[in-house]
Chain A
Amino acid sequence: MSVLFVTPAHANPFDVYGAGARSTALGGAGTAGARDFSANHYNPALLAVLDGMEISFGYLSAKPSLKLNGGDLGVTQSRGSFAGVTLPRKLAWHRLAVSLSLYLPNNFITRVRSLPESQPRFVLYDNRPQRIVVTSSLAFEVFEDFFVGASLSYLSHTRGFMEMQGIVHLNDPGETLLMGGVDIDFASIRYPTFGVHWRPDQHWRLGLSLREPFHLKLDVGLIVDGDIVTTVAGQTVPLLEDGQLKLISHNTNLFSPRQLNLGVGYEGRLARIYLDLGWHQWSTFPTPTAYIETELDLDPLEFEVPTSKEPLEPGFKDIFVPRLGLELTAIDNDTIGLEPRLGYFFEPSPAPNQSKSTNYVDNPKHGLSVGMGLEFRALQPLFPGPVSLDLAAQAIWLQPRTYRKDDPADLIGSYRSTGWIFSLSTNVNFRF
């Protein structure tokens, strides 16, 4: 019924800033209302509703100004191009669609960065918007006006070790001989997304989507195996055989929680309104900092290495995110169509008060967006079908929040966070 090819993960800029200019302008209320390639992200079942082949190209730029104690932390700007292609067809009376979408950031393919847990960082804006997104989806009309869709997300964990073997000369480094090798695995990971869409009549639209969680691991390490020798009276004497030093850094980062989204829409001739309610399972958020595993086996020599302190659990909580979008029909004739759009969302913060040594900063967020769609309907013969241009501007306000520490001698101390994120996105769509 529905299987997918490739996909990328959901911990992506679309989660943070929205996918496609139309859905972004509607406050991200796309579970029942997406009608372009952005359905790959919001609800793949909606892809089967599209009338004809559609190709879209777009650009997103988001500039954060996120502050602690009034000082801008300089969180990295997100910029990137995106594209999507959707191929709907009819199979008997069933509608069927396959789609592929891509977001290609300018700055990074993917950024995984683990900071010390005490270093303050806007944890949801540090790595999450900085990654490539590749999504392919399949959607199918099961019954009349009832659609299902699914996708499979794909990326890879990185697990790499540098292994060295040989002889370590204790008092003559020139005699030390170590042969090295590098062993790196890029193990694939896949995460599915499911969606259903029902059109009970010509006006009402219902949608439900489930996005599975995603997190990216990066484990890197150094393993040294060898003998330790020394020189006594001009003779090389072994001190120990088969000693081992293991130093491995475990990092979990780039996380997106399981999300269950319910969408309702009402589509009239002059206005369309969409409402989404999403449940985000942030309680499974893993510690976003590195844990260093150290092992030293020099038996019978007695050496100890300090053990790394286990990072504290972040203790995030699940949240509900409401989204609202309104679209009007301002102009609708044979040559042109104009649709102004307005959207709003509120995203509570899943992060608890950072009263201990961690500083995973996050605030309740209010997002307000405006946009418009402009469709040119008489461009033949240059284009066989309509060409539309979507624009969206979004402002996300991070409601001020204070963090108080239990320990008066904490390195960072108590602080206040707030900020704004302004984003612009546009895409042009070609229908055939």
Chain B
Amino acid sequence: MMTSQTLKPLFVLILCLGACGRLGDPGGGGDNLPNRGIVPYILDSNDDGDPRILKSGEILYRAPQAWADGDRIVLFIEGLNPDTGVSSIYRTESEGGETGFDTPQLVLSAPEGSSWAGESVGAPSVHCSQTQCLMVVQTSGGFGLADGELKGSFQLHEDPIFDLEMAPGLGSLESPSLIQVENGFALYFEGREDNGSETRLYRTVSGSDLVFGPPQVIWKQASECVGSSDETNCWAIEGVGAPEVRVATNELGDTIFRMFYTGRAPGSSAIGFAASFDGVQWHGFANNPILESDATLDHPSNILVDSRYMLFFLHHQAGTKHGIGRAVNDEGLASETF
């Protein structure tokens, strides 16, 4: 039979066990989730809600292309002089992912007397290897190639590397994006067949000699949206453009081609995402657009700095707030590097 003397140590033990516990946290299991940097991007707004990290003044800045150099962000931008209508390429940089960028410096202008380039160069796409960089720019006569140093100025080659003669059936070429692939280069760009048609994204490839072949369409607005006026479900009703392609590596060591691009609708444009395993067959993100606002967002450029994905873009609102905007995605652990 148990006696009160016998039960006493049992009660002590029960009290001890109860004291071992403490109130627990309710959540758990959601830290450090893999983040590919697709969504969500939060506009990098300052106190007055302005997401521009670079404001246009006498020069209208547009078509940014960002390059991560360690923890330094180098931004190549097209700058348009509205008085002369001439565009050139500028560069600015910022340390450690900060929003403060230096005053942009001129790094490339169209050479005087160029028969094919005209007076303007724009929409830069930069591919750097250590300090040496190749830059593809848009001109009135096609895409030109320039080379230079990441911190220096660039020189435009004498001949275009891609023009309308190499793209039968196309009426315009814009916004090139150059990447290095296994045996050479791939060039992505925005094109349209004629003035009334929708814009699409094209791809052409070359060997190491940068001689490109005929392009093929790799991305266009959803087929069910062609000819549709349903702007609710068809966010890129006027077509897609301004591609920026990056070659990334995921945690398994697989190669992933990432593309941010612009989807256009009457009076507005937003930013979408697509990805590919081979750079040819592309799949759109299920919840495009990934970034939109009441402003026009165009020419996206995506980099990874200090485990933070940053998206730079042309931000243009009601003819007043013109410049380069930035949005940041820093949730979880960055799972794709490039």
Contacts and interface: CB of A to CB of B under 8 A. Distances in A.
Given A122-B29, A416-B251, A80 B21 contact: yes
Interface in B13-28: 13-14, 17-18, 20-28
A432 B283 CA distance: 70
B33 A59 contact: no
Given A414-B251, A414-B252, A74 B31 contact: yes
Nearest to B276: A408
Nearest to A408: B275
A432 B2 contact: yes
Contacts of B22: 79, 106
Contacts of B1: 384
Interface stretch (A65-73, A283-291, A331-339): A65-73
B97 interface: no
Nearest to A427: B17
Contacts of B26: 107-108, 111
B335 A74 contact: no
Given A382-B9, A411-B38, A119 B33 contact: yes
Interface string B321-338: 000000000001101100
Contacts of A415: 34, 250-252, 335
Contacts of B18: 81
A120 B9 CA distance: 46
A332 B199 CA distance: 86
B24 A79 contact: yes
Interface string B249-292: 01110101100000000000000011111000011111100000
A106 B332 contact: no
B6 interface: yes
Interface string A166-207: 000000000000000000000000000000000000000000
B36 interface: yes
Given A57-B17, A382-B6, A73 B31 contact: yes
A115 B333 CA distance: 19
Interface residues of A, number: 50
B6 A68 contact: no
A402 interface: yes
A143 interface: no
Contacts of A111: 26
B252 A416 contact: yes
A71 B335 CA distance: 10
A409 B10 CA distance: 60
Q: Is the interface of B mostly helix, strand, loop or mixed?
A: loop
Given A76-B25, A81-B18, A411 B277 contact: no
Contacts of B333: 68-71
Nearest to A108: B24
Nearest to A403: B252
Most chain A CB inside 10 Å of its own CB: which residue of B1, B9, B273, B336 = B9
A80 B18 CA distance: 9
A414 B29 contact: no
A413 B21 contact: no
A55 interface: yes
B39 interface: yes
B252 A408 contact: no
Given A81-B18, A409-B286, A413-B335, A404 B32 contact: no
Contacts of A411: 36, 38-39, 285-287
Contact of B283 (A383, A384, A408): A408
A236 to B, nearest CB: 32
A416 to B, nearest CB: 6
A271 interface: no
B87 to A, nearest CB: 32
Nearest to A402: B252
B34 A57 contact: no
Contact of A414 (B2, B254, B283): B254
A119 B30 contact: yes
Contacts of B277: 408
B161 to A, nearest CB: 28
A126 B25 CA distance: 13
Contacts of A72: 31-32
A81 B20 contact: yes
Contacts of B13: 57, 428
A120 B38 contact: no
Nearest to B18: A81
B2 A107 contact: no
Contact of A413 (B14, B28, B250): B250
A412 B332 CA distance: 11
B5 interface: yes
B31 A409 contact: no
A216 interface: no
A68 to B, nearest CB: 6
20 contacts: A57-B10, A68-B333, A71-B33, A73-B33, A74-B29, A75-B29, A76-B27, A79-B21, A81-B17, A81-B18, A81-B20, A83-B14, A107-B24, A381-B5, A384-B1, A404-B252, A408-B283, A412-B33, A415-B252, A415-B335
Q: What are the nearest 6 A-B pairs in CB distance?
A: A107-B24, A71-B32, A76-B28, A106-B21, A74-B31, A408-B275
Given A68-B32, A106-B21, 18 more contacts: A71-B32, A71-B34, A72-B31, A74-B29, A79-B24, A106-B22, A404-B252, A408-B282, A409-B273, A409-B283, A414-B250, A414-B251, A414-B252, A414-B254, A415-B34, A415-B335, A416-B251, A430-B10
